[in-house]
Structure 1
């Protein structure tokens, strides 16, 4: 069974704490053949394997990609 939503955790922009982003599964597949997940804005995009391995995907030409420190499966709501 595929996971519909993940919560990705990133280092806080101020160097302390953490920022979280919820991403939902899209109909797309990434370069590794795994599902692509995106946040509501479409800016944060990630390919996530069935082993919860995350590969961040650029949504624009000048985007600097940050790697999440964690990926947590969320229950379907």
Structure 2
């Protein structure tokens, strides 16, 4: 199975509120993550994720003092 060039990552809203989910579009980079899968990042470079061909997502820290939330869903984009 080939990897998509872009994914929409959906993150939960703020716990305990009625906040909507956040959606971040990430694009494939030339990097490979610790699991050997492609690394994707958003335009700002802040959201970085390793995504397997099975759609499993591992959020990667892009700076110090981050505690990244796990996305609810990774949807491949055309």
Normalising by the residue count of structure 1, what TM-score does the alignment of the two structures yield?
0.91
Q: CA RMSD in A?
A: 1.1
* CA distance in 2 between partners of 1:22 and 1:69 (Å): 14
Q: After superposition, what is the alpha-carbon deviation per residue over 1:15-49, rounded to whole angstroms, capped at 9, x for unaligned?
A: 33211000000000000000000000000000000
Structure 1 runs (4+) deviating above 4 angstroms are none
* CA distance in 1 between partners of 2:13 and 2:46 (Å): 17
Is 2:57 aligned against 1:47? no
* CA distance in 2 between partners of 1:11 and 1:21 (Å): 11
* CA distance in 2 between partners of 1:65 and 1:47 (Å): 13
Equivalent of 2:33 in 15, 30, 34: 30
Is 2:61 aligned against 1:70? no
* Structure 2: tracts of 5 or more residues without a match: none
Normalising by the residue count of structure 2, what TM-score does the alignment of the two structures yield?
0.90
* Structure 1: tracts of 5 or more residues without a match: none
